[in-house]
Amino acid sequence: MWVLVGVLVSVGVTARLVGAAGPATGLHEDLQERFDRAAAAATREGVELVVTSGFRTATEQEALIEEAIRTYGSEQEARRWVMPTDRSAHVTGTAIDVGPASGAAWLGERGAEFGLCRVYDYEPWHFEPLTDPGSTCPATYPDVSHTWD
């Protein structure tokens, strides 16, 4: 599985695949731009903000589902914590996980400025472009069980 990390460039911070040249692959262009703006603002405030996970393939998402079934002991419980492949924003390139924890907390407080919103209560590192920059983010969900309906 590819892991994304932040890389400082002359105009700010961007994300790229470890071991790959150039910008992150698979992320929707709008999401990449929003993250770049947020990361640059975080950097100016002395906060480290990097993408730790972004685009994943359907096969990778399916592997996460299978791992969750093993971890939680049942498909029903796994469905609270991992989205179905056809509904995962990671699979469409419209979700990022960020770190470190201080960076995720910063983005949790400031994300709406960039149109990046936390989606789930249990994942303070997961953000999606759910609103226009400067608008209000929607309420978060306690888990992902509603996406299996």
**Rounded distance between C-alpha atoms, residue 113 and residue 49, angstroms:** 15
Domains of the chain are 4-56+90-148 (3.30.1380.10)
Q: What is the pLDDT along the chain (149 residues), one digit of tens a residue?
A: 333 333 322 223 333 333 332 345 689 999 999 999 999 999 999 999 999 999 999 999 999 999 999 999 999 999 999 999 999 999 999 999 999 999 999 999 999 999 999 999 999 999 999 999 999 999 999 999 999 98
Q: What is the DSSP letter of 126?
A: E
